[in-house]
Amino acid sequence: MTSNQGNGAPCYSGSDSLAVHAGREDLTALGVHAPPLDLSSTNPLPGVEAGGESYEAMATGGHPTAGGNVYARLWNPTVARFESALAAVEHTEEAVAFASGMAAVTAAVLAAQLRHREERGGGVGHVVAVRPLYGGTDHLLVSGLLGVDATFCGPFGVAAAVRPETCLVVVETPANPTLELVDIAAVVEAAQGRPVLVDNTFATPVLQNPADIGAALVLHSATKYLGGHGDAVGGVVAADASWAGALRRVRAVTGGLLHPMAAYLLHRGLPTLGVRVRAQQASAEKMSAWLSAHPGVRRVHYPGTPEGDPTGLVGRQMRGPGAMLAIELAGGYAQAAQVAERVRLFTHAVSLGGVDSLIQHPAALTHRPVPPEARPATNILRLSIGLEDVADLQADLAQALG
Ligand SMILES: *Cc1c(COP(=O)(O)O)cnc(C)c1O
């Protein structure tokens, strides 16, 4: 832990303190209070050799500032501040940020293939993906766009699905959209030494740190809770230095960069992440209880209920059940569509994790590209609980449920 006075002496270690100060350690020494926003696309070079060193480092997984800053596709200091802050709160050595969560997933799969080829000398890589997954991730792996074979399985099917050429195991917990919890440590064990990527978008580092229990890669759609205000799209992967080198190399070559303005906003979201997530979670717990008692709701999917957490992962793997929930409507698709269209305080929109509450129909929207056998039921709505008064959220759903 570093001092925000820049003298190197540790003066804090708590996760909320880290979220407020990480990536800002040098500000006092710089004589500023807010992080500088560097929008340069290119940088003046002191000599011909210096820039070349950075280019060479890019191609070999070294640090792209080896020869100083050259070009924004290699490195940007505002993006790097967000990355170092995210690494601190996810307990990893480094983090690499991307243009979106899907750009981060793409880079992680490509980096895993790259390492697989370098370590084993060739062949098409293979990915094991634990369902359910975010619709976009599921679709990307099914599509074959990245040139990898993918095997889909349930949380207990990983050991049987792993092959000699498996270069990555992908898992999401809580999973999108029905909030199933997966035991990360059990998946890591079943992966038999293969790297495990955990999509930690729903849990956030406030509630869960997968790197502490063996995940090699921790991924976020930063668009969601990290930014928290619905005004920036981004993705990030937290990992050790050697994975970060491979990810930066993929990013520099394929160009899925996070814009510095978005990095600034995402970094600004981190100091309030803890209070936002805990307050939204407290409201979600109340909404879950209220919805469970509503006659129009057949079932609530929420990790804070006994059915939502059958193996007791909340308290062990997660520090709380989170602020996302899903409901099954007694009146089927027609009622789900009615609720989504009638809400007035909730916004009917995809995305999640912001300060305002959102509601969406996964089968019709986010999970539409998913093959029918893995698509959520049509009577399910997914709710992202924001910071509004619980009484107002309940009144809105009461009128929408009719
Ligand atoms: C939204 C989301 C993604 C994709 O992120 P984008 O920023 O939209 O590209 C990946 N995983 C999960 C769990 C998500 O919710």
pLDDT tens profile 237-290: 999 999 999 999 999 999 999 999 999 999 999 999 999 999 999 999 999 999
Residue 96's φ and ψ, nearest 5 degrees, are: -130, 125
**Domains in the chain, CATH or no CATH each:** 92-258 (3.40.640.10), 274-401 (3.90.1150.10)
Question: How far is the centre of ligand 1, averaged over its atoms, from the C-alpha of 10 (Å)?
Answer: 35
For helices 77-90 and 260-269, the axis angle rounded to 10 degrees is 30
Q: In this predicted structure, what is the pLDDT of residue 63?
A: 76
Q: Is 73 a known active-site residue? A: yes
Report whether residue 174 contacts ligand 1, using a CB cutoff of 6 Å. no
The pick from 134, 179, 259 for probing ligand 1's pocket by mutation, whose C-beta has the most ligand atoms within 8 angstroms, reads 134
pLDDT at res. 124: 83
CB distance 230 to ligand 1 below 6 Å: no
- What backbone phi and psi angles, to 5 degrees, belong to 328? -100, 125
User: Catalytic: 225?
Assistant: no
Say which of 26, 38, 55, 73 is annotated catalytic: 73
Instruction: For ligand 1, atom 1, name the residue with the nearest CA.
Output: 221
Q: Is the CB of 138 under 6 A from ligand 1?
A: no
Ligand 1 centroid to Cα of residue 223, in Å, is 7
Q: From the CA of 104, give the closest atom in ligand 1.
A: 9
| CA 40 to each of CA 44, 70, 339: distance values in angstroms, whole numbers, following the listed order | 10, 10, 46
Active-site residue, 16 included: no
- Contact at 8 Å (CB) between 236 and 90? no
Do 147 and 276 meet the contact criterion of CB atoms below 8 Å apart? no
From the list 199, 225, 248, 302, the catalytic residue is: 199
Ligand 1 centroid–CA 253 distance in Å is: 22
Residue 325 phi/psi, 5° resolution?
Answer: -145, 165
**Alpha carbon nearest to ligand 1 atom 12, residue:** 134
Ligand 1 pocket residue status of 204, Cβ below 6 Å? no
* pLDDT at residue 67, as a whole number: 72
**276 is a catalytic site residue:** no
> Residue 9's pLDDT is what?
60
The per-residue pLDDT string of the chain (402 residues; one tens digit each, 9 = 90 and over) reads 344 444 556 688 899 999 999 999 999 999 999 999 999 999 998 888 877 888 787 777 677 777 778 899 999 999 999 999 999 999 999 999 999 999 999 999 999 999 998 888 777 889 999 999 999 999 999 999 999 999 999 999 999 999 999 999 999 999 988 999 999 999 999 999 999 999 999 999 999 999 999 999 999 999 999 999 999 999 999 999 999 999 999 999 999 999 999 999 999 999 999 999 999 999 999 999 999 999 999 999 999 999 999 999 999 999 999 999 999 999 999 999 999 999 999 999 999 999 999 999 998 888 887 788 878 899 999 999 999 999 999 999 999 998
Q: Which DSSP category does 314 fall into?
A: B
